[in-house]
């Protein structure tokens, strides 16, 4: 009996150790590249503001022109890093179960870190524009004019979803082959469109102000974001639990 308990405890410790190692590789990689990303975003928004002000065409904030790229940056990095970390994770003694757990936890805290960063920049831009006497508006989001808490929560859910979608793209081709993977892209696109619509952001849904939005619409939008994260997390679990390292043919 004691030996069985020791083995169970040893297994749990090994699972936690390899899960944390996965978080460090995957989540740490996303955070590190994110430093360079946000530096370029801040620089780009300042340059746009200066040029638009110089030629008297400044209309509202400039972050709304560049923040939409955050999800695609994290989507791309998620797609790249997952292909690198899975073989390394398994070769170092990790299991697919600890890989999935580390992947999901990384998506959540990286999404949260970037969501808070996005909301903080929007808030800072609004304060700066008002201090300079410039007209400021931010069309995207569930709350017209912006709300730090709602914007941070919305971006967290969107970015976590896009990170997980990025990890699912190569998994689709790995598991389903060329034809199946191609159709799998359409399913992932539907999830991406759904979460963008839910929180009223992105290049498609975020350009027009959300007129008449109240508490119910805000809660419904955040609930849609939670649903998107849950669906993609379930798909990650199903696809990676027994992921073969050799791709399917056809």
Q: Is residue 245 part of a domain?
A: no
- Residues 6 or more apart in contact with residue 187 via CB below 8 angstroms: none
The answer to whether 68 and 205 have CB atoms below 8 angstroms apart is no
d(C-alpha 142, C-alpha 200), whole Å: 6
Instruction: Tell me how far CA of residue 115 lies from CA of 32, 62, 67, 111, in angstroms.
Output: 15, 18, 11, 6
Query: How much is the pLDDT for 216?
Result: 85
Region 183-194: mean pLDDT is 94
Query: How much is the pLDDT for 235?
Result: 94
Ranking 6-10, 143-147, 185-189, 192-196 by mean pLDDT, the lowest is 6-10
Domain interval for residue 120: 2-240
User: Which pair of tokens denotes residue 120?
Assistant: 């903080």
Instruction: Tell me how far CA of residue 219 lies from CA of 71, 123, 224, in angstroms.
Output: 21, 21, 9
User: Which pair of tokens denotes residue 191?
Assistant: 């999830």
Q: Is residue 41 part of a domain?
A: yes
Q: Rounded to 10 degrees, what is the CA torsion of 18, 23, 28, 31?
A: 180
Ranking 89-93, 148-152, 187-191 by mean pLDDT, the lowest is 89-93
Query: How much is the pLDDT for 8?
Result: 64
pLDDT over threshold 70, residue 246: no
Q: Is residue 250 part of a domain?
A: no
Nearest residue to 245 via CA among 179, 182, 180, 171: 171
Q: Is residue 249 part of a domain?
A: no
DSSP state of 20: H
Q: Is residue 231 part of a domain?
A: yes
Highest mean pLDDT among 14-28, 100-114, 144-158, 209-223: 100-114
Q: Is residue 247 part of a domain?
A: no
Q: Is residue 219 part of a domain?
A: yes
Q: Report DSSP letters for 80-136, one per residue.
A: HHHHHHHHHHHHTT--HHHHHHHHHHHHHHHHHHHHHHHHHHHHHHHHHHHHHT---
d(C-alpha 136, C-alpha 114), whole Å: 22
pLDDT over threshold 90, residue 202: no
Considering its fold, how many domains does the chain have in total? Answer: 1
pLDDT tens, residue by residue, 100-139: 999 999 999 999 999 999 999 988 888 888 888 887 777 7
pLDDT tens, residue by residue, 30-75: 999 999 999 999 998 888 888 877 777 677 778 878 888 899 999 9
Region 176-200: mean pLDDT is 91
pLDDT over threshold 90, residue 96: no
């Amino acid at each position: 009996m004691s030996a069985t308990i020791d083995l169970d405890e040893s297994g749990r410790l090994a699972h936690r150790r390899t899960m944390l190692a996965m978080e460090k590789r995957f989540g740490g990689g996303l955070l590190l590249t994110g430093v360079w990303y946000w530096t370029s975003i801040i620089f780009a928004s300042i340059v746009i503001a200066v040029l638009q002000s110089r030629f008297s065409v400044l209309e509202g904030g400039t972050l709304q022109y560049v923040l939409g790229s955050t999800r695609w940056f994290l989507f791309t990095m998620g797609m790249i890093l997952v292909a690198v970390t899975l073989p390394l994770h398994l070769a170092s003694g990790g299991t697919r179960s600890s890989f999935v757990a580390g992947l999901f936890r990384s998506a959540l805290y990286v999404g949260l870190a970037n969501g808070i960063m996005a909301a903080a920049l929007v808030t800072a831009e609004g304060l700066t524009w008002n201090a300079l006497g410039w007209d400021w508006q931010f069309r995207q989001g569930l709350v017209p004019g912006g709300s730090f808490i709602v914007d941070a929560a919305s971006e967290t859910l969107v970015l976590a979803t896009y990170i997980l979608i990025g990890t699912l793209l190569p998994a689709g081709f790995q598991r389903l082959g060329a034809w199946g993977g191609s159709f799998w892209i359409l399913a992932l696109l539907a999830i991406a469109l759904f979460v963008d619509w839910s929180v009223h952001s992105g290049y498609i849904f975020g350009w027009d102000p959300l007129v008449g939005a109240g508490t119910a619409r805000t809660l419904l939008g955040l609930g849609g974001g939670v649903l998107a994260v849950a669906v993609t997390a379930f798909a990650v679990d199903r696809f990676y639990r027994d992921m073969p390292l050799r791709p399917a043919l056809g």
